[in-house]
Structure 1
């Protein structure tokens, strides 16, 4: 029973990380139809910001979260305004452009900061474990789980209970008619992309105590995030949350019974089979026209 509960907790921890990374992807594609291959590099940028704030100013990961979100959002806004906005309705060009942006960001980090691994410590007040019977739960992992739930509900509230969300959903349903009512689709797209980039940066910051901070760290993480978005139904917030839970728990259990490599292979096979028989995902979003 102790092993069972420990694996469930590990799966929830993986779920929370996948959810925060995939949520930005789902929002950007659901609203804008943009497949952002540079999303992993936004995660990497957030991780480097966390390292910089800790090494230069002594800010721990939690204290630096607002600055990390703002920096990621500003970077996303600049890229959307200068490059991506010129490529709407051109999906292949958007894929190539965001892939190129990701490469440029990686090379810039290598040029100015080098390729050496950087390390970020967890906050002192979240060090240690909560032990209940045979279950050992890291305080920091518990914080990430709680924070991911907060981000999920905050995003839902933003999209479905605010004026911004109402305007964005109007643009998604019918861009032309929305503009006739004075809603600027370009402004909605810019703010949406900035929000998604900010979420990715926050996710990158929060995972730094678990992984080494390197220029390529976002590449592997974004692959799993894309799987979450595909399984959940592209653009669906509820579907993204549900698929993150399924893939996170499945990854934990398959890695426990086999190993990490075999577990990832089995997850990929499962997703391929799902796409073959249900290409729209498990929880498709029916809002987008």
Structure 2
């Protein structure tokens, strides 16, 4: 029995020893596996702790390629020099006085004392630029991808070609894809010429021709003048440059026409008030420009008052300023008519001199109160920015002025046609004596008409404050053109004022790039004089009292 037990005992002990060895080996393997996982997780960021620039650049590229959710924050921090590391281990993002773990994005309380900034050089900066562009092109938002593609198109950096290729493979949005194709073409043409690239470069020239902007024109002009390009490529580039030049001239005319519309809208607001006062009362008000200036200063005062008292209303302060400027200037106009103009009816020269002197008094008063320098009227956020229509930059503030002018004109026409005041003003305009005999109180109509014209000048001042400098000399820039609009369109006729304002505004702005601002004003003045010689009462003459006088 003992002979049998001893061998079994030796076998059992040997088996137990081997089993324990197997368990130790398994435990060591598991430990190494977990340690390997931790090292692998650290390796993606540990390259940032290196002093080698190539290692840092490779680490940035690997982070973007892996799709790590922290890649954007790390790259942004590295660009701003807010990325630091500890030689003992750890990469952190400095956010003011706090620190965030770059791996997890969570705030860190116990910060090592030996933090150092991650090193940078030109090579790392180039890799960062490519990584940033690639991250933006991976964005789910079309606007972000379009912005990134536009930046690549403007930079045409050869290092970005792989990024552009990858983006083109996955891009679905047609607008973003078109801009990427243009960026690809611009980048390719910016590279040195390589043998066998003629077909590719011809296709790139055609793609840039579809862009038709100044960036493409400048690049194609270089290609057309290059001795390294083939004859076919140079001919195609030169032809495309000529085509772009023609398109740019057309777009330039349209852009200046838009500027002319906005300027004509201001003239419409200013000249409408002049048309009413001159049409009803026969008074040439040389202080009309200063009433515009007061409207602009009223806008600034309203903005400052709202900012100081109810700042939550600041985004709509410009809308609040509209009725305030109209009432302030309107009341001032009534005071001017009652205190000065009514004593000078029938004496046009004295009226002209009196209102001119009043304009100087108002200028000096504003200069003494607010100072001689310009003041800044804030454009609200909802009027900032622009839309691009082809190559025409349609700014929102100018578009708003255009719409505002037509709303004011429509409201004025309703007042003139649908109210008793409008009926009385039209009656006085056509025949003052007969209107008085019919029982219309002409002095009251004169005062209200002058106040209405002054209020319209205040509205013009609100509009001008968004596109021009607000200073004591503001009114002098518009008074002459406003009188030209009144005379050219027909005294007292609103349709004539509209036609003349838009004609003079657009005509002047279209001529300015060709012959200069001063020459354009002279040319417009000569044309108006020639027209008035043939048509003394303007484009839309008033019937009635104007014919008799």
TM-score (norm 1): 0.95
Which structure 2 residue ranges, 5 or more long, are not aligned?
1-249, 308-313
How far apart are the structure 2 equivalents of 1:56 and 1:237?
35
Query: Is residue 41–residue 102 contact of structure 1 (8 Å, CA) maintained in 2?
Result: yes
The 8 Å contact of residues 280 and 449 in structure 2, kept in 1 or not, is answered as yes
Choose which of 454, 462, 466 in structure 2 pairs with 1:209: 466
| Structure 1 residue aligned with 2:254 | 5
- Match among 523, 526, 529 for residue 269 of structure 1: 526
Structure 1: 4+ residue segments shifted above 3 A? none
What is the aligned partner in structure 1 of residue 296 from structure 2? 47
Match of 1:27 in 2: 276
* Cα distance in 2, alignment partners of residues 98 and 110 from structure 1: 18
Q: CA RMSD in A?
A: 1.5
> Which whole-Å CA distance do the structure 1 matches of 2:256 and 2:430 have between them?
41
Q: Which moved more, 1:50-59 or 1:244-253?
A: 50-59
Shift, 1:283, TM fit = 1.8
* Counterpart position of 2:483: 226
- The answer on 1:57 being equivalent to 2:306 is yes
- Shift of residue 242, structure 1, vs aligned partner: 0.5
Are residues 1:181 and 2:430 paired? Answer: no
Is this contact kept in 2: 1:173–1:287, CA < 8 A? yes
Structure 1 residue 169, shift from structure 2 partner:
1.7
2:514 is aligned, of 245, 253, 257, to: 257
Asked if structure 1 preserves the Cα contact closer than 8 Å seen for 2:377 and 2:466, the reply is yes
Partner of 1:97: 354
Q: Secondary structure at the match of 1:63?
A: helix
SS in structure 1 at match of 2:497: helix
Matched, 1:155 2:404: no
- Determine the C-alpha separation between the residues in 2 that align with 1:173 and 1:225: 22
Q: Give the SS at the match of 1:117.
A: coil
Distance 2:432 2:538 in 1: 24
Match for residue 79 of structure 1?
336
Structure 2 equivalent of residue 243 of structure 1: 500
Give the Cα–Cα distance (whole angstroms) in 2 for the partners of residues 117 and 66 of structure 1: 23
Deviates more, 1:29-38 or 1:161-170: 161-170
Are the equivalent residues in 1 in contact too, given 2:264–2:504 (CA < 8 A)?
yes
Task: Report deviation, 1:150.
Answer: 0.9
> In 1, Cα distance between the equivalents of 2:270 and 2:542?
19
What is the CA–CA distance in structure 1 between the aligned matches of 2:393 and 2:373, rounded to whole Å? Answer: 32
- Cα distance in 2 for partners of 1:122, 1:287 equals 44
Q: 2:453 aligns with which of 164, 172, 196?
A: 196
Tell me the alpha carbon deviations over residues 1-60 of structure 1, each in whole angstroms, 9 at most, x when there is no partner.
432322221121111111001110011100110011110110111111111222332353
Name the CA distance, whole Å, in 2 between partners of 1:12 and 1:110.
31
Q: Distance in 1 between matches of 2:336 and 2:277?
A: 13
Q: Distance in 1 between matches of 2:543 and 2:364?
A: 39
Q: Which position in structure 1 is the counterpart of 2:203?
A: none
Give CA-to-partner distance per residue, 1:59-85, whole Å, 9 cap, x none. Answer: 532321110100000100111111111
Describe the SS at the equivalent of 2:318.
Answer: coil
- Mapped to 1, the partners of 2:394 and 2:252 lie a distance apart of 12
Question: Corresponding residue for 1:111?
Answer: 368
Structure ID, larger Rg = 2
Task: Name the CA distance, whole Å, in 1 between partners of 2:466 and 2:429.
Answer: 37
Matching residue of 2:75: none
Aligned partners of 2:434 and 2:512: how far apart in 1?
Answer: 49
Contact 1:62 1:123 in 2 (8 A): no
Judge conservation of contact 1:68–1:198 (CA < 8 Å) in 2.
Answer: yes
Match of 2:389 in 1: 132
In the TM superposition, what whole-angstrom CA distance separates every residue of 1:155-203 from its partner, at most 9, and x where no partner exists? 1121122211112222223333333333211111111100100010111
Deviation at 1:110, TM superposition (A): 1.6
Task: Determine which of 286, 289, 299 is the counterpart of 1:37.
Answer: 286
Which stretch shifts more, 270-279 or 28-37?
Answer: 270-279
After alignment, is 262-271 or 99-108 more displaced?
262-271
Greater mean alpha carbon deviation, residues 162-171 or residues 215-224: 162-171
CA distance in 2, matches of 1:233, 1:172: 13
